[in-house]
Amino acid sequence: MRPYQFYLISTKKSEEVVNGLKKITLGCENRADAHGFLWIDIENNICQIQLIFGEIVLEWIAGKGIKCSRTNRDLDAPEGIGFQKGARILHPLADTTQIEAVLAETRNAEFPPEWSEKILEKF
């Protein structure tokens, strides 16, 4: 069994086409803080992939390749007034150990059959 099992989330929003692209949402069956997004064109070609594992974001963009980022959210932020946890800003991740770990998680993940090969060939 693969560590992360992603599945499609079907909504009315996933049928919308914006700037020629549909956005497909992926949930993860066995990790609550992992999810992803695919942006596909009219011919079902993937133009962008964003996979989120906790606060680490792995992206692939057509013509630009792979980039890995970390959000600005503090995982240990205390509860209460004055501690913002909301907005996420992505900062490039320079730690090659973390990047390789996220790539390994992605390469070992299970994706919906109709998208699995197309996703894995990008990473």
Q: What is the pLDDT of residues 27-75, one digit of tens each?
A: 999 988 899 999 999 999 999 999 999 889 999 999 999 999 998 766 5
- In a domain? residue 43: yes
What residue numbers bound the domain in which 112 lies? 6-120
- In a domain? residue 24: yes
Q: Check: CB of residue 60 under 8 Å from CB of residue 68.
A: no
Q: What is the pTM of this model?
A: 0.83
Sign of CA dihedral 12, 108, 53, 119: negative
What single string gives the DSSP state of each residue in 15-65? G-EETTEEEEEEEETT-TTEEEEEEE-TT--EEEEEEEETTEEEEEETTTE
pLDDT band at 14 (very low <50, low <70, confident <90, very high): confident
Total number of domains in the chain: 1
- In a domain? residue 31: yes
- In a domain? residue 96: yes
Q: What is the pLDDT of residues 74-107, one digit of tens each?
A: 655 556 555 555 556 788 888 899 899 999 999 9
- In a domain? residue 95: yes
- In a domain? residue 1: no
Place of tokens 């390469």: 107
Question: Residue 3 is which amino acid?
Answer: P
pLDDT of residue 1: 53
